[in-house]
Amino acid sequence: MRVQILASLLLLFSSSIFADPFEDLLKSDWDKSQTLLIKNSVFQKLGQRAGSKEVLKITKNVIPWAILEGVTPEKTAELIVNLDFAVKEGLTFEEAEDAIPVVSKREISKEDFSYIGLYFKETKKAGIREEVRNRFVEAAMEKKWDGFSVLAGGRALIAGKLVDFPENRLASKILTQFPAKGRSLSFAKTETSFKTVLDSKLDGASYILLSNLKKLHEGEKVTSAQKFASARAVETSLEEVGGIVIGDRPRIEPLPDPPLVPNLPEPGEPTEPDKPAKESWETLSAPILQKVAKEWVGTPYKWANAAKTGTDCSGFTFRVLTDGRIGVPEKMVSRASSAQTKMGTGVSHNEMRSGDLIFFSASPNQSKVTHVGMVLNGEEFAHASSTRGVVIDKIRMKWWIDRFVMSRRVFKKVVN
């Protein structure tokens, strides 16, 4: 009996020594060689820290994102390292993860990743519209901006809201006038651009944003843990900005620059007359919906876009719903997935039917929507996949069921 107990204890002890929690986390989603590649790459960059509780937690949280974004094992390892750096710099995982979609297919330093994470945190807190903040950072990355310039541009957007600049048009102006490599240039260049795009119309909170930006820039010259922690000094100002409703105060002259996001009017600005609404659009023809959605199948994925040349998930659902044959009025549909969650009424997973929107999350915060699709029937939904473009998948695939957040009913009646 003693021998059996001793053998059991020895087996338990040896298992605890040789069990590899890093590989255990990955093995259900990647094959052995891919898992080894991810593990070795992370260990190469982080050393023994790769086995720490903090990195293991980040790895667990990255897996759903890596699958949703369809990234390679090498890029998965890079995301783990970048997110570890961002968290050490003072961001939470949930704040930093917003940078994943825009950088998942790009080569980017861990410093730039953290700046972009901070950009999303601040513009979201300040109430910059999701369509604008997403399209802005995508356009900036296409122009090869570094993360510091992205953050600076975001703060200029926030400062513009303080003095009632139309944010969509201001975003276009910032993209043409800011330096692309602000981190490696004299801060004076960024400061001049900041003031120029706002026509020197800055209020007190704007100067706080600008002076704090200078501190972050100066922090680039030294190696210090959590240099982004100083950014917390602007959070009170950001919350105040977030509470501002554009249109409640006298407006300045509209900017002449074209809007960054076409057909996205500024609050309070005159808009083009509404197109005549499709008669009885609240009654949906399921065959017509399937025809419209299938015409998009094969469209490549392009984040923060909504066109047949390239679209993201919410851009696809926006275009399908507002297609003339479906007829939902454009003013009722946002291009942002978070706003689409507020459309219609909620329905349970097993009640879904043609025309319902279905939402998913890759975030550890399962109430945070990161993906949306269009239900075609009780078995299938169409969506813009980051790796396959617009495709049709089964609603009851285990991965989608595990990541399901909610569904919303847009149409009152469906006919076949």
Q: Read off the pTM.
A: 0.89
Nearest to 157 by CA among 260, 12, 52, 230: 260
Rounded to 5°, angle at Cα 188 from 184 and 194 = 100
Residue 119 or 203, more confident: 119
Q: Which of 109-118, 188-197, 224-233, 360-369 has the lowest mean pLDDT?
A: 224-233
Beta carbons of 317 and 340 less than 8 angstroms apart: yes
Question: Is a pLDDT exceeding 80 seen at residue 142?
Answer: yes
The pLDDT score that the predictor gives to residue 226 is 58
Residue the block writes with tokens 């239900």: 375
Question: Is a pLDDT exceeding 50 seen at residue 135?
Answer: yes
CA 359 remoteness from chain centre: 14
pLDDT digits (tens, 9 = 90+) for 47-95: 999 999 999 999 999 999 999 999 999 999 999 999 999 999 889 999 9
Across residues 304-311, what is the average pLDDT? 94
What residues have CB less than 8 Å from 112, skipping those under 6 apart? Answer: 146, 147, 148, 150, 183
The pLDDT score that the predictor gives to residue 77 is 95
The whole-chain average pLDDT of the chain stands at 88
